[in-house]
Amino acid sequence: MSKQPIGIFDSGVGGTSIWKEIRNVLPNENSIYLADSINAPYGPKGTRKIIELSIKNTEFLLEKNCKIIVVACNTATTNAISILREKYNVPFIGIEPAIKPAALNTKTKAIGILATKGTLSSALFHNTSSLYSNGITIIEQIGEGIVQLIENGSLDSLEMELLLKSYLKPMLKANIDYLVLGCTHYPYLIPKLIKLLPKHVKIIDSGLAVAKQTKSVLEQLDLLNTEVLKPKNEFYINLKNTEVMQSLLGKPFNVDYLEF
């Protein structure tokens, strides 16, 4: 069992930011990453469709014999993880915007959350944000268009810079001192965000916490891979153009096109 891979899925290429954290924390583990880019973005889709796609992705990974599934997508986690946990007898790790550390540490009493429409409108997000919103202003901003730009290889475009500036504007006006990234595509924006934000604004991203949680669950269930051979990392995307994902991962990793 322990040699079985960790399965990871996202609506697209963004979850590779989580895969990188997992690889650093769990360097011995085999892994299979699935990018459902043909259906990206999930953000504007309704809950029912997001659940359907999350089930399809999970079944693919279970057929590949994965021992644990990491839902490397805030939108899929906040809309579908409870259904997945009910339906399948395998541990699931999810990712949600990390409001708690921002809300507990803000000095200006204002924090910003950048996430997809699907995440911000989910019941899970509402429950968490209402737990921590007492006495602070939470500026929620839908990152409309960001996922598509990253998916089509326009991470470094002028269009991206203009979008980010417009999304940060109301947050800066409200004097936020924490910006919570609520989408696994967004860690790729961090170098740009650092340039656009005043120095005192801290960026919070939950990738490392997800990787640590994955390790801790594997430890608890005695599922860590104890074999110290070179691990096998497989990457699948259902778009013929594999270049964007390939460039995010870099060498020596290899991305394969697969229809699913």
Residues interacting with ligand DGL, by CB under 6 A? 10-12, 14-15, 40-43, 73-75, 116, 119, 147, 183-185
Please indicate whether residue 73 is annotated as part of the active site.
yes
Q: What are phi and psi of 167, to 5 degrees?
A: -75, -30
Task: Classify the phi-psi angles of 5: left when phi > 0, otherwise alpha if psi is within -120 to 50, otherwise beta.
Answer: beta
Q: Is residue 66 flagged as an active site residue?
A: no
d(CA 144, CA 99): 20
Judged by CB, which is closer to ligand DGL: 141, or 225? Answer: 141
Give phi and psi for 119, each to the nearest 5: -75, -50
Q: Which amino acid is at 17?
A: S
Catalytic residue among 26, 183, 239, 249: 183
Choose between 22 and 110: whose C-beta lies nearer to ligand DGL: 22
Residue 216 CB, shortest distance to ligand DGL, in Å, is: 21
User: Given strand 137-142, what is the order of strands in its sheet?
Assistant: 137-142, 110-115, 178-182, 202-204
Report residue 152 CA to chain centroid gap. Answer: 17
Peptide bond into 44 cis (omega under 30): no
Degrees (nearest 5) of the Cα angle 187, 193, 195?
140
Nearer residue to ligand DGL within complex by CB, 57 or 116: 116
Taking the least distance from each CB to ligand DGL, the nearer of 5 and 118 is 118
Q: Which helix (H) or strand (E) holds 66?
A: none
Q: How far is the CB of 226 from ligand DGL (least distance, A)?
A: 31
Q: Which of 66, 73, 102, 111 is catalytic?
A: 73
CA pair distance 123, 73, nearest whole angstrom: 16
Contacts of 187 (CB under 8 A, 6+ apart): 14, 17, 181, 205, 207
Q: Which residue lies nearer to ligand DGL by CB, 40 or 98? A: 40
Separation CA 202–CA 102 (nearest Å)? 9
- The pair phi, psi for residue 191, each rounded to 5°, is -60, -35
Smallest distance, ligand DGL to C-beta of residue 205, A: 11
Active site residues: 73, 183
